[in-house]
Amino acid sequence: MASPSDNGKTAKLERYNSYIRRVNSTKLLNASSKLVFRAALLLALVLVFYFTLTYPPLSPEHHPSSGSHLFHHRNFLSSAFLLSSSTSPTWEKQARHSSAPRRPNGLTVLVTGAAGFVGSHCSLALRKRGDGVLGLDNFNGYYDPSLKRARQALLMKHQVFIVEGDLNDGALLMKLFDIIPFSHVLHLAAQAGVRYAMHNPQSYVSSNIAGFVNLLEVAKNANPQPALVWASSSSVYGLNTENPFSELHRTDQPASLYAATKKAGEEIAHTYNHIYGLSLTALRFFTVYGPWGRPDMAYFFFTRDILRGKAIDVYRNHDGKEVARDFTYIDDVVKGCLGALDTAQKSTGSGGKKRGPAQLRTYNLGNTSPVPVGKLVGILEGLLSMKAQKHVIKMPRNGDVPFTHANVSLAYRDFGYKPTTDLAAGLRKFVKWYVGYYGIQTRAKKENSGESSSN
């Protein structure tokens, strides 16, 4: 028979063993919970990347109210991926090689919006004359991104590398300025289009104001500071009634949010010039057109719709007069951009501190010959050998202005800007590119091929 002391020891031992079992069970449960949590987190990340890559953001044509969020989600992922791999010697080698000048005293230029219409043409022109060029573009879906990818492929053939990323990604911009001492920045990235601002106003503030400020912040802290040439717009003249538009005319009556953000950019540029010594040149573009153009521009979608047999809207002012534009051919605008770069003086700051007064300029880049939109349509009809189904209506109050006309005497005086391409010649080159790029056989081509086969 066991003694009372033995029974006490047995009870204590059982209690201890029970305690150990509970502790082990708790540890096992905690370990299992952590394992399940980590597995779920990993699965979620895999699904996020899978759906991001498999189902890209819809263009704003399908979701105009949410386009900005879609663009930024995509840009965040692409920029994060780039930064995670930016220590790779291969990536840095591509960027350095692209930005290295091929001629004595050549420029080293960061071109923002390099996959865009004006950006791609300027990048190619800079490269062809021997300057170093590195592009930056977020490839957003404001219009068909495949056109931007085609421009990117064209630039790659000429050894111009484009970094895919967003202006609002400060870490990315600092990385680029860290590995390359840019002498100049040609800032052409922007949210374009007057009418789209009524559907997605936030995208204009994000790109044209916040993105511009972010670029200026990085540029001001660079050593050496680059000189900046950037795209403003003829839209800043807004409700101005004096003609032709001069840089001295008032620009405090914008007719659209797009115009307001560009005007804000000019004021912001003045501030960074005054405080930090950045050399800044604003270029006010007047209705740029030509090969590789933007599908949201009238000459582009008029061509598309005429070929498809669709009706086109031709606007008249509320007093019955035709809307007219100072259409400017892309090659003339490129010459103006390069002239502004070549005459841009060095910034006077260093590491964010101003050392002396710096250059601050504003120029019109136009054709100086306004053309009624009806005449534009007539030229396209002749080039396409097709009659347009015109729907003449009063111009809606959506931010468009009835008339633009550039005075370019200041640009001519300072860097010899002189447009040489009239609308008929420019549209001929555009139509030739359009039908070739989209593989379209116009009626004129069909008739010519029919005559050739019968001979």
Instruction: Give the Cα separation of 280 and 211 in Å (integer).
Output: 16
CA angle 177, 181, 185 (to 5 degrees): 75
- Residues β-bridged to residue 403: 324
For residue 109, give Cα distances in angstroms to 30, 165, 354: 56, 17, 22
Check if 258 is active-site.
yes
Which two structure tokens, joined as six digits, stand for 188? 């052409």
Identify whether the C-beta of residue 388 lies closer than 8 Å to the C-beta of residue 380: yes
Measure the CA dihedral 38/44/46/51, to 10°.
Answer: 180
> Which one of 143, 258, 272, 363 is the catalytic residue?
258
Instruction: Give the Cα separation of 350 and 353 in Å (integer).
Output: 5
Instruction: Give the Cα separation of 455 and 137 in Å (integer).
Output: 50
- Give me the sign of the Cα torsion angle 223, 229, 235, 237: positive
Instruction: Give the Cα separation of 60 and 62 in Å (integer).
Output: 5
- Residues β-bridged to residue 350: 353
**Which residues carry out catalysis?**
258
